[in-house]
Amino acid sequence: MADVLHMRVIAPKGRTDEVCAALEDCVGVTNVIVHPDAARRPAGDVVLCDLARESANEVIERLQALDIDHEGSIALERVDLSLSDVADHAEQAAPGHGDDAVVWEELAERTADDTRLTWSFVAFLVLATQLAGIAALIDSPVLVVGAMVLGPEFGAVAAICLGLLVGDLGRIGRALRTLAVGFCAAIAVTFVCALAGRWTGVIETAGLPVERPLTAFIYSPDRWSFIVALLAGAAGVLSLTAGKSSALVGVFISVTTVPAAGNLAVALALGHRSEISGSVLQLLVNLAGMVIAGLVTLLVQRVVWDLIRKRQTRGRFPTT
């Protein structure tokens, strides 16, 4: 089954022929359909087509060059099942492989959503940090893993990577604000809960064990912490760009950003100063490692796909 996307374009009156020409000139496009005067707001013709995922960037750029994204509309969605020989042929003719393709506009929209400071983002981060705090108190690696999976912070990290790649300072600023506010709120709530637990006797003053063989890595950053963060950042960006959401779960359980925040909150509440600096450093090391690796991964993907497209262009229009 081909990795096919379905595109809907609303073309303003008089621009439909240009849109169709842009679509038909791309080898990865097939099943082009035109519904004249079908659109009401904005008014125009509706053009539908199927295209190979690896051709999406070329088609979007062609339509944006026609200003269709401002005068009309462009929408993409994934096709779960496509039984079509012509779609298979289009996918084979398109450069590269669909699983490796990066649809840059899709990534931009997805990461833009993840930079929004929403109630649900803060709530998930607070809950994850509290789980991490309990994990620190009872030395439970199971709860550490649960806190990692529940944490929503990687989307904002990916947004920083994309912002650095394209020089979008606004995107970077929004992502940093979301991370800063989210982690501060999560640490503050966990700190208050830990204080309340201490005052009510639920948590003893010496609540954090002296020896924590199963969770000591949360506040003891070393070279492996940075290496793991690099690997997780690269894997996370690949999972976002290739649509491999199952791989993203593995990223969540690889880095100790949320566990470090939970340990920091509990250490502050119980006065364990020896673990405060280590927790802060672990948090920063993981965030920095993921940003560095994510940026490098996006840069490599952009360079590789630019080379693939240039090779296809030379093959389509050979020099004499």
Residue 20 sits in a domain whose CATH number is 3.30.70.260
- 272 and 143, same domain (yes or no): yes
Alpha-carbon gap, residue 317 to 234, rounded angstroms: 35
Residue 313, in any domain of the structure: no
What is the per-residue pLDDT for 319?
Answer: 43
- 120 and 96, same domain (yes or no): no
Cβ atoms of residues 260 and 286 within 8 Å: yes
- 70 and 157, same domain (yes or no): no
Residue 233, in any domain of the structure: yes
Own/partner pairs, 197-203, CB within 8 angstroms, 24+ separation: 198/269, 198/270, 203/137, 203/270
User: What phi and psi, each to the nearest 5 degrees, are found at residue 220?
Assistant: -125, 70
- 93 and 112, same domain (yes or no): no
Count other Cβ atoms within 10 Å, centred on residue 296. 16
What is the per-residue pLDDT for 1?
Answer: 43
Residue 317, in any domain of the structure: no
Query: At 316, is the secondary structure helix, strand, or coil?
Result: helix
- 77 and 121, same domain (yes or no): no
Give the range of the structural domain holding residue 182, as residue numbers without chain letter: 107-305
- 47 and 128, same domain (yes or no): no
What is the per-residue pLDDT for 81?
Answer: 82
Query: At 305, is the secondary structure helix, strand, or coil?
Result: helix
Residue 223, in any domain of the structure: yes
What is the per-residue pLDDT for 313?
Answer: 57
* β-sheet bridge partners, residue 9: 47, 74
* Residues shown for the chain: 320
Count other Cβ atoms within 10 Å, centred on residue 149. 15
What is the per-residue pLDDT for 318?
Answer: 46
What is the per-residue pLDDT for 238?
Answer: 87
* β-sheet bridge partners, residue 64: none
DSSP designation for 12 = P
Sign of CA dihedral 297, 303, 307, 313: positive
Query: Buried b vs exposed e over 229-252: b needs ≥16 C-beta within 10 Å?
Result: bbbbbbbbbbbbbbbeeeebeebb
- Least Cα distance to 216 among 274, 268, 270, 271 occurs for 274
Of 85, 101, 117, the residue that ends a domain is 101
Alpha-carbon gap, residue 94 to 112, rounded angstroms: 28
- 158 and 235, same domain (yes or no): yes
Of 101, 119, 136, the residue that ends a domain is 101
Q: How many structural domains compose the chain? A: 2
Count other Cβ atoms within 10 Å, centred on residue 21. 11
For the chain, list residues with pLDDT below 50.
Answer: 1, 317-320
Residue 212 is inside which H or E element, if any? none
- 130 and 159, same domain (yes or no): yes
Of 101, 130, 161, the residue that ends a domain is 101
Residue 316, in any domain of the structure: no
- 203 and 241, same domain (yes or no): yes
Residue 201, in any domain of the structure: yes
- 124 and 65, same domain (yes or no): no
- 151 and 294, same domain (yes or no): yes
Residue 247, in any domain of the structure: yes
- 300 and 153, same domain (yes or no): yes
**What angle, 0 to 180 degrees and rounded to 10, lies between the N-to-C axes of helices 104-114 and 169-199?**
40
Residue 294, in any domain of the structure: yes
